[in-house]
Amino acid sequence: MKTTSDTIRLIGRPGTEPVVKQFDENGLVARFTFATNEPTTNEDGKTVYVTHWHKVVAWGINAALVQEKVKKGCKMSIVGKQGLKHYSGKDGVAKEEKVIQLYNLSLFQNEPA
């Protein structure tokens, strides 16, 4: 899949095991949460890390790769595009959430979880 000019590259760890669903004979979709840590300085001048959570979705061959390789807590780099998912909540109100559509991933070897 071609990447676009609005590519996002993140380094972090999956917060959940991927959930993979098959929707056609060959169609796969995988979803998982992804945590990144941003270093900031607190009032005392010490470096502290703020965790940001991202929702990631992968389709087709990328979903198969996620199913095979991604485990909760493994350090990895992901490349994707930010998008919006539109849906109706249980109360019938239209909602949207930000998701990252995965294009590529790289696992870091010999990294503790």
Tell me the three state secondary structure of residue 70: coil
Q: How far apart are CA 82 and CA 4, in angstroms?
A: 11
Q: How far apart are CA 16 and CA 113, in angstroms?
A: 13
Tell me the three state secondary structure of residue 54: strand
The one-digit pLDDT tens for each residue of the chain (113 residues) are 555 568 899 999 999 999 999 988 779 999 999 999 999 999 999 999 999 999 999 999 999 999 999 999 999 999 999 988 888 888 888 888 899 999 999 998 766 55
Return the CATH fold of 7-107.
Answer: OB fold (Dihydrolipoamide Acetyltransferase, E2P) (2.40.50)
Domain ranges (residues) in the chain: 7-107
